[in-house]
Homo-oligomer: A and B are copies of this chain.
């Protein structure tokens, strides 16, 4: 064996592990680069006179429609059944 303590299957595992780690690290780098880009856009918008906080609010709103509909429908149902039950006490 080439080195003092490793057989081929451990070598394979070690190599695989390293590959996984490095793939993740590359992806996280990309992700972080995109986060920076987003920051830049906010900064540019701010420099143009826009309010970042308000922009975030808008983006949040535009993002919701799907999730919001789900959640608010659920809440509505809850309210409705709660009301039905509460009306039973009158």
> A interface vs B, CB < 8 Å?
2-3, 5-7, 10-11, 13-18, 20-21, 23-25, 27-28, 30-31, 34-35, 37-38, 41-42, 44-45, 48-51, 53-55, 57-63, 71-72, 74-90
Question: Given known contacts A31-B31, A57-B71, A58-B76, what 9 new A-B pairs fall within 8 Å (CB)?
Answer: A10-B82, A13-B88, A15-B89, A18-B83, A18-B86, A27-B41, A30-B34, A53-B74, A58-B80
**B38-A85 in contact (CB<8A):** no
Q: What does DSSP make chain A's interface, helix, strand, loop or mixed?
A: helix
Please tell me if the beta carbons of A74 and B89 are within 8 angstroms of each other in the complex.
no
* Chain B residues within an 8 Å CB radius of A80: 58, 61
